[in-house]
Structure 1
Amino acid sequence: MASRGSQKLEDKLVCCICLEMFATPVTALCGHSFCEKCINSHWDKEEQGPASRNGYTCPECRKSFSKRPQLSKTVQLDTIVDIVKLGELPTPEPEKVAAVCEKRCPRHGRALELYCKTEKQLICCVCALKACQNHQKVLFDEERKIKEENLKETLEKTEKMEKEINEEIQKLEKQAVGIKELLVLPTPGSLEVPPLEFDLACSVDSITKFFSTVSRIFQEALSNSFNPVAADAQSSLESKAVRVRAAQCLPETELRMHLLKDHRNLTFDPATANKYLQVSEQNRKAKHAPGSRSTLSSRDPQKFEPWQILCAQQFTQGSNYWEVKLSGQSVVIGIAYEKIPRKKRAGCTFTIGLDKLSWGLHVQEDCYVAYHNSESKKIKESLCKFIGVKLDYDQGVLSFYGIEDHMKHLHSFHTIFTEPLCPIFWLCEGTAVTLCQKSRGQSIADGMFPDSQAVSDAVEQP
């Protein structure tokens, strides 16, 4: 049996008009609460009835109001009703409902034995003969049984729905656990990889001897990079060989090995180069030398007025990756639609990333700055001489990576690409960019050799 305090609480949860638990409880000016729909329906009928000149009344205390009262939602009572419906408090017991029935009619002082379905409230036998004469009426006990059956049916449906929801939640939780397991990368110790042995020390002498033998062949090919004095040519070549070997020792991290699977060999398109940019090493190197000027016509509509140049390759689908070597700072690396304007922009040294047609990463003296559509983002990371670029056309993702002792992510753009894309570069005066190449037959595990393809091509010349 519920306590006296609990019964008093349950009394507040039953609307005296519909005899059901409150649905959106509201409070009148007199302090009594009703279902919002029930009290509005009650006052709507009073407006239409002959007693409308007497104003509006409270069904609980029969207090009259000259104007239709403003209703306010009883938030705390609504919360209590929700708790009861969820099963956290006991619902009103039959004894409680019977206690409501024992109340007296405020108009005639008789027991409230009947229920008016039209008015949706308890009435006495005198009300049934007068105010509710033409209304649909039933005995309170009969109506209570019908309400209890409806409530029971509703509770059963709710419990069934709750059970189905819990089952679906359990299935989703199992799927989430499975997805998390798939996303976890295996640790180095979990894979059985046979040890790889590479004796670099044993190979240094033979490589140095090889470069010394072909020094004369390299003199012409590397004339833009070395002192042309014949007496210093061989020593410069051997110095270059040492730098090539050092450049080959790029990090073989798991991320970089994965990216290299989609590597693309790029070449510059001289027809688009600004007149001050020199292209050499079979269009794999671009340099902005002080005082230099291209011999090609600068009036060509394909050529850039800013110090920019496009690559000859275009990408329209799939995953693509390339790496570039920088000689210094003040370089912009990016991609652009082929129709990017060739003209200068007032007050700007470059146009990459200043419109919706291009995306760029500016390598400055102390940081990186990402540009697109004239919006910029500063990236405080240590500068790297090698930059990796990953373009996932289908997914709309462009990412930049710094490559030194390890691989670090610098920035990613997320968008939707709609036209063929070309790699694009801007070079400040005195800087150079070399496109890293992967030779035919070279495996991914061999790493990248920025100058090896140029070396191989020079050796094959007669």
Structure 2
Amino acid sequence: MAAQLLGEDLVTCSICLCPYLDPVTLPCGHSFCGTCIQDSWRCCEKTCPECRQPFPEGAKLCRNVTLSTLLQALPRALQAQPPATLRAEPSASHSASCPRHGRPLEFFCRTEGLCVCSACTVHECRHHERALLDVERRGREDQLKARVVVTRQQVSEAESQLQELQLQKNQIESSACTLASAVTSRFSSLFQALEKQKALTLRSIEVGKKQALGQALSETQRLTSHLEALSQYDRSVQDLLGQVDNCIFFQELRHLSEPVQTLGPLPALQWDEEEQLNTVNELLSPLCRLLLEDKPSRVAGKAAQAGPVEALGPPPAVPSTMCPLRKKLWQNYRNLTFDPDTANQYLSLSHEDQQVTHRFQAQRAAGPGSFELWQVQCTQSFQAGQHYWEVRASDHSVTLGVTYPKLSRRKVGNHTDNIGRGPCSWGLCIQEDNIQAWHNGKVERLHGVPGRLLGVDLNLASGCLNFYSLEPQTERLHTFYAVFSQPLFPVFWLLEGRTLTLCHQPEAKLPPGPREEASALS
């Protein structure tokens, strides 16, 4: 009751808003708790919190004896007062005044994330980062509005992408249905055409067989008749030689028929298996191209670049780093050598028959098995499986190919090579400004200029012969499709001054021998 008569403001510190504790008086006459004023001066200037009058330098705080005595006389009245309410959490504070100090909430404590009054900034939040409440509110609202704009844009973009995805799904379903129907129809037509072509081809083979067998039967009858006539003539002569009577001998000799004429050479039967097989190849080759041809890999990765090969130097080792396509081809790598017996007399072999150079003067006399053309054949041949080899050319104007054993060694016509000129060989001619693919006398001109390092991949199982350029990147140049029926020998042609080097790799597999080829065929 006495505290109420005196007034709470008279016994309350204006800093902590609690009853004075060890009150002190400043020169201006205002009183504060001793601890409160010292804490306030640690972060602020030494002025009076009430009137802002500076505190003199060197002055000391004086204890307010009268106020201390008054507070000691009223201990019970002060204890009866309700304790100060602690500051509420921001989620529980909805009033516009500080729950502890009762003052307006004018500031925002960024450190604690709370709305505070001016008294809080002096005591509890004096070391915290603070801002005006209205300024902080506007800043936070601007951030939220910006987030809402971005969120709505994301929602709009997601909805647009969802619609586009649904449209693509519908297009894919429609396209797949149409494509499946078209493919089914085409395969049905293709099966019918194949069956029809199969029947015609078998009929052609049967007709050719009958003609050849008919010719053989005719020759058999002719030879049989000839043998019978010879036998009859032999018996007549033996009977005449056994006649004792001279008159009868000369009489019968006069009536003896003339001896049977000589038969002459046996005519060849009109049966050409190679021609029949070429007919099948011509029919199947376009189909094989559609089914087996791979698109040229423009992004297969840069191939490993082997160093340049000197005309008289050994081939360099290929670096280990290479593109995936070339790594796959290397699984069937073969080390080849040139066959000296087949080399043209102007071709010089060196480096253990791994390098051939076209000289301007003859290097030897022509042998019985050497080419009259500027060509050389490899010692190795392949009849089954898959095989890959690489060759480096010193310049353009060279031809790489494969051939059956019966490739002619003689020069016919004006051509300086015969690789791909007939049905038994396939060749790729590298010119200065173009590439030519030759087979059976037909040429296909290709675009592009390959590098000097070239690769050849022969897959006898699938009937594919691929040529690759390996510099500056691995790129397929051309593919031949055929049903290979005989062993294939690598064969090469080169112009004057050119050098070809067969690249050898230490880890390469050896070419399969005849027994391995026979087992692969069975």
TM range (shorter): 0.3 to 0.5
TM-score, normalised relative to structure 1: 0.42
Larger Rg belongs to: 2
